[in-house]
Amino acid sequence: MELPDIDFAATRSTCFRGVARVPLHALNFQNRLVLDKHRELSEENVRRLQNIYEQVGCNRLEEENVINAVIADEDLVAELSSQGKSIEDFRNLQWPQDALDLPLEYVDCLSGMHRIEAARRFLDENDKWWVVRLFSHNTPKPVLVQIIESFANEQKPSDGEVFRKIRLYHRENDEEAQKRWWSRLEKSKPKDLRQLLRRPMLIAGFDALIDMPGLWAKVQLGALHRLLVLKCDEEMALYLDYIAKAWSKILRCGERTLPFSIVDAVTVQNLQLLAPAHSDMDKNLVIELMERRDIFSSLKSGTIRRTLTDNLCAFPGVIPSLWGFFEMLKYLEPLAEALRHLLGKDMKRTIRSSLMGLYFAPSKIMVQTTETQDVEIKVALSRKQAGMIAYTELWAFCGRYFDGLTAFTPRKETGEPKPTVNGPNPVVWQHLARFAVSRGFQIPHAQALVADEGRLRSQLALEYLHKARPTCPTFSDNDVRKVLDAVPVDMDISQHQSPLPLPHLSIDRRIGRPFARDFAEEKRLLFFPHLYGPVVFENASISLMRRDLFSCIFGSFTFETSDFELVTNSGKPAQDRMDIDTPSEVLGSDTRLTDLESRCSRLQQEYQSLLSQHDTLVRKYEIEHSKTEGLEIENLELQAKCRDLTQKYSAQCEANELETNTASDEIRKDLDNLQNRHHHLEDAYNRVVLEHKDCDATKKQLSSLARQWKAQGDKNLELNSTCARLKRELEEALANRKFEAATVDRGKLSIVVPEPIEATTMSALEDSDTTPTIDQPLYSWVPRADQSSYEMFFAYCTANGGSALQGWGSLISMQAESALPRIEQLLHQAEMEFGSDQYGAMTILGKIIIPTSAEYVFQCFGPTHQTIFIGPNSVLSAYVPVIERRASSSQTGSSVMTIIDAAAQATSKALVKRQRQEDDSEDDEITNDRGFGKELTRYTTKKSVPKRRILKLQGPDVPNMNTESRGHVDSEHSSEQQKLA
């Protein structure tokens, strides 16, 4: 069913894929819909387009020259991927100028068959491409049908194509498509076609040929008026049925019949009206056409083509076509007109039904062998068979004398004058009426003509006298009787016919109204025994054409010579002397009659002389015929030699083909191996390209890390300088003050002895991400200057009265992908070290969190919460947050820190930063994903760290510090922390 315009446009847009330049060799027109819907290739139209290309060019980038095609989506995606394009990018290409070059291998075209064929012949070998509008192969069939049929300006559809499409869509119940094709008919053609559709017998015959598009190419709807007035539907229906059966027999290959769609217009045009089974010329032509692939060009199989050749050469009659059908109507037209006039008012629906309704079988079934001789059919016949024989004889009689029964004339021979109009002749009509009555047809009009025979002949004699003596006003009955007596007795003109064989007819002389010379032969051939008796044909003569035609439209009768018996003379003249012109001598006197008799005697003598000459010519013909037989024998010998050579050639061809196939297989295998090696090399190349890209990315990342390492080195130098300064200040303070043995007010303080500071720092730099042991060094937590990562700090104890946490920390990536596994690992480690119910977590601002999962802990990080402490609940609850300590440090005497505290913390911070710097430069790094690339996470083996030696300052030489000095040191420590930050 045809889609509405809106649905069609929407579906067409959805299935549209894009516009591409496609090589001509990839364009294929064997799509099933194209074979069913598209007209056949017209060589004339291809040449027309080729001439246009030579004059103005192809104009391939013009919108009206773009053709439509369908392609498998997977093939299109694969080709686009190889060019780095997506299907969406391709869909945006809608104009020919933007078409993408796609070296596709197979595309099913929906239109443009003639222009592509012309382009193949016109374009250079290195420039053979065309712009194609591509649609998905999943496009619904109704949409494809409308796309095919909406393609215009290539060739106006023929009448036959319009007729076929109307009946095709009628069969598919597609009303909209029928209306569209009806609109293409012009003038009176729609009216004539609708009248034809009211003839169910005929329209069924046409519908049986719908699936053979090649038969419809030359159908002319302008000839329908001739078909509609003939009133011989049964004969036309039989011929249409014969066409369908004939082509089905030709296409039969073993147990199956080939698709009717392979019958294209070129095949039909080359084969129609050939008789290869009876004519060697036609047989050789069929073989030559098959070898040149001029027929059935879509078939590639040599076996099938040989089978079709055998079928064609063995076809028993003349190969029919629809063009031959309409040409046959031209032959039947004058014959049907004569029979309709013979029936008169008794004419009913068709000629056959009318005549058979008036048929009464005589006691003996007689048939004519000549104009003056009848024979009886001795075999038993039914009434229907007898009626059909008599009915066929009536048509044969009209075929011999249609020029005297109607105003029609034979066709003009080339170089000869046009035949004159002889009819309608009353005498010939009287013969037809008498013949019809003698065969059992009780037609009132015919019986009236027979009864009026005497009056009609006298009237003709009187008309003759008026023409012969125009100055005489009246003629007596005696004058008329003398004219009638002067007419010779009936004689059979066919008994002296030449025995020469009938000539081979060209295609244009085999169908339609006969030419003048062929019509003269028909007058002696169109008799029932010759049409249906045993006859051997040596060429495609007029005799074969008429025998084949009568068998198609009147049915086949099989008779042997012994089935006929000579019994009587029919007494019916073949040619009445009243039909021809005679000299204008006056026959009114006895003298004149005597002169005529003497003239007749002389003519008889001349006739005898001509007979002797004829005998001489016959003898010469026999001599020539014997020579011809000798030549034919030589020809047979040459043909035998040709067959031997042909067999040798065929054997050599088969051997060459086998050798070629073997070499082809080897080449194909080598090609496959080369393709496989090419694919392997291509894959290896792609891997190298990817690895190269990865190397470039790694190189850039390493360069960035090197710059960061250099910057961090500069910071470390500054920290070393600060540490050295603080050491000197400490040594000066110890030298200037004579400390008594005393302890520090805020608890026992420990300062790392200067000697092992370097060792302690190196051990800290060798910190590992593995589960810590009891020997892992602990340090006091200090705020970090680095804002590019988060920190999780494991707190084991507090120091400085709860204002500092002792433990170790681990950096966490800010990217969830790499941070979550590390957090999960640390939570598991905390559970192992502190117990699942004995530890907790806390932010830097003192917010208590429950570490239920790694995701939740990661969500607790933020710009102000970049560090999360994990440790025993007792340690975390004793910790005084840094923000409270800083708030309390602003009050005088609120907190006290000694120089030793400042030095210890400064040293600790320097050691931690140095540790981080050197950890980043470890050789055994592993990578974790970051937002910008890959994060390098250090991994060190677990080592035992030597315990630091603690320098205890107490005794009488180390006095207790007062609050003022503590505040002074505390302020210095705070400023030092800011510098470090």
Residue 605 is predicted with a pLDDT of: 63
Nearest-angstrom CA–CA distance, 440 and 767:
131
Q: 150 lies in a domain?
A: yes
Of the residues 704, 736, 768, the one at which a domain ends: 736
Question: Is 712 found in the same domain as 759?
Answer: no
pLDDT of residue 591: 57
Compute the distance between CA of residue 208 and CA of residue 820 in angstroms, rounded to an integer. 77
Residue 467 has pLDDT above 80, yes or no: no
946/558: higher pLDDT: 558
Q: What does DSSP say about strands 100-101 and 16-23: parallel, antiparallel, or unpaired?
A: parallel
pLDDT at 903: 44
Asked if residue 758 has pLDDT above 70, the reply is no
Residue 827 has, within 13 A of its CA and on its CB side, a CA count of 20
Shared-domain flag, residues 445 and 307: no
Q: How far apart are CA 429 and CA 832, in angstroms?
A: 130
Alpha helices in 141-279 (DSSP H): 141-150, 159-171, 175-182, 189-197, 200-207, 224-230, 233-250, 265-271
pLDDT beyond 70 at 722: yes
Q: What is the pLDDT of residue 740?
A: 45
Candidates 533, 537, 531; CA nearest to 379 is 533
Does the pLDDT value for residue 37 go beyond 60? Answer: no
Say if residue 721 is in the same domain as residue 816: no
Do residues 775 and 731 share a domain? no
pLDDT of residue 914: 53
Q: Which domain holds residue 224?
A: 186-324
Distance CA 233, CA 353 (A): 10
131, β-bridge pairs? 21
354 in any annotated domain: no
Residue 178 scores a pLDDT above 80 = yes
* Type and span of the H or E element at 796: strand 790-799
Residues 597 and 508 grouped into a single domain: no
Q: What is the pLDDT of residue 908?
A: 52
Does the pLDDT of residue 584 top 70, yes or no?
no
569 forms beta bridges with 373
- Determine, yes or no, domain membership for 125: yes
Is residue 715 located within the same domain as residue 823? no
Question: Running DSSP on this structure, what letter comes out for residue 962?
Answer: P
Position 746 in a domain = no
Give the count of alpha carbons within 13 A of 660, CB side only: 6
Task: Answer whether 377's CB lies under 8 Å from 559's CB.
Answer: yes
Comparing C-alpha atoms, which of 538, 542, 615, 572 is closest to residue 369?
Answer: 572
Q: pLDDT, tens digit, for every residue of 834-848?
A: 877 778 898 887 788
Question: Do the beta carbons of residue 60 and residue 116 sit within 8 Å?
Answer: no
In this structure, is residue 602 part of a structural domain? yes
Q: Does residue 315 belong to any structural domain of this protein?
A: yes
Whether residue 664 sits in one domain with residue 521: no
Verify that 541 and 506 share a domain, yes or no.
yes
Cβ count within 10 A of residue 811: 19
Long-range contacts of 908-911, Cβ-Cβ distance < 8 Å, separation of 24 or more: 908/779, 908/780, 908/782, 909/719, 909/782, 909/977, 909/980, 910/719, 910/720, 910/722, 910/723, 910/980, 911/757, 911/760, 911/761, 911/764, 911/779
What is the structure's pLDDT at 586? 37
* 233-250 and 542-554 helices, crossing angle to 10°: 110
**Beta-bridge mates of residue 145:** none
Cβ 346 vs Cβ 323: under 8 Å: no
Structure tokens of 960?
Answer: 């207790």
Instruction: Tell whether 122 and 201 lie within a shared domain.
Output: no
**For residue 170, pLDDT beyond 70:** yes
In whole angstroms, give the CA distance from residue 507 to residue 611. Answer: 35
In a domain, 178, yes or no: no
Answer whether 559's CB lies under 8 Å from 529's CB.
Answer: yes
Residues 602 and 507 in one domain: no
Mean pLDDT score across all residues of the chain: 77
- How much of the chain is helix, strand and coil, in % rounded to 5? 55, 10, 30
Residue 295 has what DSSP assignment? Answer: S
888-903 pLDDT, tens per residue? 544 433 333 433 444 4
- Rounded to whole angstroms, the maximal C-alpha distance in the chain is 198
* Nearest C-alpha neighbor of 734 from the set 896, 897, 899: 899
At residue 912, the pLDDT reads 52
CB 883 within 8 A of CB 847: no
- Whether 73 is in a domain gets the answer yes
The model's confidence at residue 801, banded by pLDDT at 50, 70 and 90, is low
Q: 310 vs 24, 250, 298, 305, 936, CA distance in Å?
A: 35, 9, 18, 9, 83
Is residue 235 over pLDDT 90? yes
Q: Mean pLDDT, to the nearest integer, of 772-778?
A: 56
Greater confidence (39 vs 356) lies with 356
* Better-predicted residue by pLDDT, 158 or 956: 158
- Give the count of beta carbons closer than 10 Å to the beta carbon of residue 789: 16
Q: What is the mean pLDDT of residues 441-468?
A: 79
Supply the DSSP symbol for 98.
Answer: G
Distance separating alpha carbons of residues 650 and 661, to the nearest angstrom: 16
- Would you state the structure tokens that stand for residue 596, as one six-digit string? 């005529």
Q: Are residues 108 and 60 in the same domain?
A: yes
- Amino acid letter for position 272: Q
With a pLDDT cut of 90, the percent of the chain lying above it is 23
pTM: 0.50
Write down the pLDDT at residue 388. Answer: 94
Of 703, 736, 769, the one marking the end of a domain is 736
Question: In the predicted model, is pLDDT for residue 972 greater than 50?
Answer: no
For residue 370, pLDDT beyond 60: yes
pLDDT band at 905 (very low <50, low <70, confident <90, very high): low
Q: What is the pLDDT of residue 979?
A: 43
Token output for 918 = 């050197």
Question: Do 630 and 511 belong together in one domain?
Answer: no
Query: Closest Cα to residue 68, out of 115, 25, 2?
Result: 115
Share of the chain above pLDDT 70, in %: 75
- Choice among 59-73, 473-487, 663-677 with the minimum mean pLDDT: 473-487
**Among 306-320, 457-471, 625-639, 854-868, which is the least confidently predicted range?**
457-471
What is the SS3 assignment for 395-454?
A: HHHHHHCHHHHCCCCCECCCCCCCCCCCCCCHHHHHHHHHHHHHCCECCHHHHHHHHCHH
Q: Give φ, ψ of 124 to 5 degrees.
A: -70, 160
Give the chain's domain count.
5
61-70, 461-470, 801-810, 937-946, range with the lowest pLDDT: 937-946
From 546, 579, 612, the end of a domain falls on: 579
Dist. CA 577–CA 425, nearest whole Å: 12
Residue 847 carries which DSSP code?
A: -
The pair of structure tokens assigned to 113 is 């068959």
Residue with the larger pLDDT of the pair 847 and 267: 267
Query: What is the reported pLDDT for 478?
Result: 74
pLDDT at 763: 36
What's the mean pLDDT in 535-552? 89
Q: Which residues of 621-639 are buried (b: 16+ CB within 10 A; e: fewer)?
A: eeeeeeeeeeeeeeeeeee
